[in-house]
Amino acid sequence: MRIQCPCCGERSLDEFTYYGDASVTRPNAFAPTAMSDYHAYVYQRDNRDGDHRELWYHAAGCHACLVVTRNVRSHIISDVRIAREVARERDAAALPGSTS
């Protein structure tokens, strides 16, 4: 498998480290339901078929964290984006008055 890094171009999987599922959000540690929220966050994951968003770290390259959309059946990568930009867009969409 090869990953198209937005900074470095197409690189071998050997240069990257898998950081986990990019579709989950870390729970609030101070919420009254933190224990059950963390249990669900760590242990209760869906094993979906099709496209999956994953975090990858370009350890042997630019050191960017990437959100890679990969089909878990075919391993075809349909999108690679810088994780910081994805988080920035998500946070902007969550602001009050946002239209998305």
| Sole window of 4-12, 37-45, 47-55, 80-88 interacting with Zn ion (rule: CB under 5 A) | 4-12
Burial degree of 28 (CB within 10 A; 0-12, 13-18, 19+): exposed
Q: Is 5 in the site for Zn ion (CB under 5 A)?
A: yes
Among residue numbers 13 through 52, which ones bind Zn ion (CB under 5 A)? none
CB 19 within 8 A of CB 56: yes
Q: Is 66 in the site for Zn ion (CB under 5 A)?
A: no
Helix (H) or strand (E) holding 81: strand 77-82
Q: Which residues bind Zn ion (CB under 5 A)?
A: 5, 7-8, 58, 61-62
